[in-house]
Amino acid sequence: MHTLLTMSATEMAEEIREGRLSSRDAVDVHIARIQEVNPALNAIVADRFEEARAEADAADKRRGDADLPPLHGVPCSIKECFALMGMPNCSGLVARRDYRADSDATAVARLRAAGAIPLGVTNLSELCMWMESNNRVYGRTNNPYDHSRLVGGSSGGEGAIIGAGGTPFGLGSDIGGSIRMPAFFNGVFGHKPSGGLVPGSGQFPNSEGAALRYLTTGPLSRKAGDLSLLLRVLAGPDGIDGGCEAMTLGDPSTVDVRGLRVISVEGNGVRRVRRDLRDAQRRAARELEKRGAIVEVREIPEMKRSLELWSGMLGASEGESFATMLANGGSFKGMRELAKWSIRRSDHTLPAIVLALIEGPLGGGRSDVDAIIREGHELRDKLNAIIGDGVMLYPSYTRPAPKHGHPLLTLIDWLYTAVINVMELPVTQTPLGLNHEGLPLGVQVVGSHGNDHVTIAVAQALEEACGGWVPPWEA
C-alpha cells in the first residue's frame, strides 16, 4: 500500500509545504483508494474528484509561500449532513434528495480555509438518528474489516472511508455517539468535543436550545496526533450557533501521563460489555499505569439511568420533533409508514419510523422531565468532580462491530456513548487493536468539560502503546 494511505494529515501537510510531496499526488492516491474500496463499502455517496484535483493543482502553485495554512493541500471527507457547496445535503431524507448546498457549513468553511480539500460527502443514518448508516437515498454502508458488519451511525460513512484508508481525516457530528461509534467500529480515532466548543451551524438537521450543546461537531482521523490540530481549526463561536462559546484550548503536549488520575469504569449496570472489550480496556489501563498514571477501577451507579437521562434531557430541548423532521415539516403518520414499510413501500427506514413513534414517551413528553434534568445536572457535576484533571476510561459499546441489523435487537447498547452527550464532556474514541475476529477494539477516553487536550493526550499515549489504527490490509 502506498505510504500516503497511512500518513497523518499533519505529516502530509508538512510534506506538501516543504515541497517533498505534491497536493495533487496526495489527492490522486486517495481518490484511487476510494475508487478501489467504495463499490463494496458505499461510504462516499457523492464525490467531487475533479474539483478536488483542480484545488490540489492550485494548492501546488502556492508551495513555498510563507503563509500557507496548516492543512494546505490535504484531502479529507465530509459527512453529508454538513453543507458543502454544490453537494447533496439531505441527511438521507428522500424528500430532500435533490437539495444541493449553496454555501459551506461553518466547520466545512473552516477546514477549507485551513487548506483542506474535500473529496466528497459520506453516508449516514436517516436524519442522523440511528447507529446503522442506512437510508432510502443512498443505501447501506459496510464495514471495511468485514462487509457483513455495520459501520455505526450516524457518521458511519466517515468512519468507514477513513478506516479503509480512503481519507486521512473527516468531519462528523455526534448527539448520541455518532462520531464515537463509527470511529470505534471502523478502528480509527474520533473526538466528541466539549459541549459548546465547536459550532454546528450549517448542518441538517440541527438542534435548538440546550441541545445545541449536546449535538457536537468534531473530527475523525486515522492518527491521534491530528485531532488537536483539527480541533483548533474547528473551535470557537461563529456568531450563528447560540450554544457555542469561546474556550481556551489546552495543548496535549503539556499533559504528563505520570501522575495522571485515570478512572476506569467497566460498565453502566444496564448492558454488560463483552469480554474482549473489557480486556482491551483493562489493557489500556495497565499501559497507562506503566507510564506512571494512577489508575482506579470504580463503578458509577447513576450510569444505570443513562436512558432516562439522555432521552429526557434531549427530548426537553427546543426545536422540531423528530417526527416532524421526518415528514419534512408536515405531519408524520407513523402507523401508516410502518404498514408501508412492511410491504417495502416506505421512504423511511424502520429505526426512523420506530423512533418517531416512541419519541414522546421517551423524551420531552415525560411527566417527570424536570426531575430528570435536575438528576442529569447532578451527574454532570459528579463526573466533572470525579474526573478532575484526569480521564475516565469507559466502554464504547457492548461489543465490537455487530452484524447488519443486529442493533434492532439490542436497542439500548448505544447508551454507553449517548449519556456523555448530555453531560457535555469531551471524549476521544481510541482504537486498541483488533480482536480474534479481526474486528476493531477500542475505548472512550472521557475528560472533564474543557479538558479536550487531556483526552487527546491520553489517546496519543495509547496509540503509542497499543498501535492505534490497524489498516484493513494489515488485519
**Residue 148: what pLDDT?**
98
CATH architecture of 3-307+370-474: Alpha-Beta Complex (3.90)
Closest CA to 351 of 128, 144, 143: 128
- Residue 321 catalytic? no
Among this protein's residues, is 79 annotated catalytic? yes
Q: Is the pTM of this model over 0.95?
A: yes
| Per-residue pLDDT at 361 | 66
Structure confidence at residue 1 (pLDDT) = 60
| One-character DSSP codes across 54-73 | HHHHHHHHTTT-TT--TTTT
pLDDT score, position 2:
82
**Lookup result for grid cell 475476529:** 437
pLDDT score at 311: 92
Q: How far, rounded to the nearest angstrom, does the alpha carbon of residue 425 sit from its chain's CA centroid? A: 14
Q: What is the pLDDT at residue 365?
A: 56
Q: Which of 154, 155, 207, 228 is catalytic?
A: 154
Q: Indicate which residue of 178, 221, 228, 317 is catalytic.
A: 178
Residue from 8, 77, 79, 221 carrying the catalytic annotation: 79
> Can you tell me whether residue 364 is helix, strand or coil?
coil
pLDDT of residue 63: 85
By residue count, the chain amounts to: 475
> What sign has the CA pseudo-torsion 72, 73, 74, 75?
positive
Would you list the domain boundaries of the chain? 3-307+370-474, 308-369
Describe the strand order of the beta sheet including 216-221 as a list of residue ranges.
Answer: 44-47, 117-122, 75-79, 169-174, 216-221, 189-192, 427-434, 440-446, 391-394, 261-264, 294-297
161-192 exposure pattern, b = at least 16 Cβ within 10 A, e = fewer = bbbbbbbbbbbbbbbbbbbbbbbbbbbbbbbb
Mean pLDDT (10-residue bins), the chain, 475 residues: 92 96 98 98 98 98 93 98 98 98 98 99 98 97 98 98 98 98 98 98 95 97 98 98 97 98 98 98 98 98 97 87 94 95 96 90 69 96 98 98 96 96 98 98 98 99 98 94
- Report pLDDT for 315: 86
Q: Reply yes or no on whether 192 is catalytic.
A: no
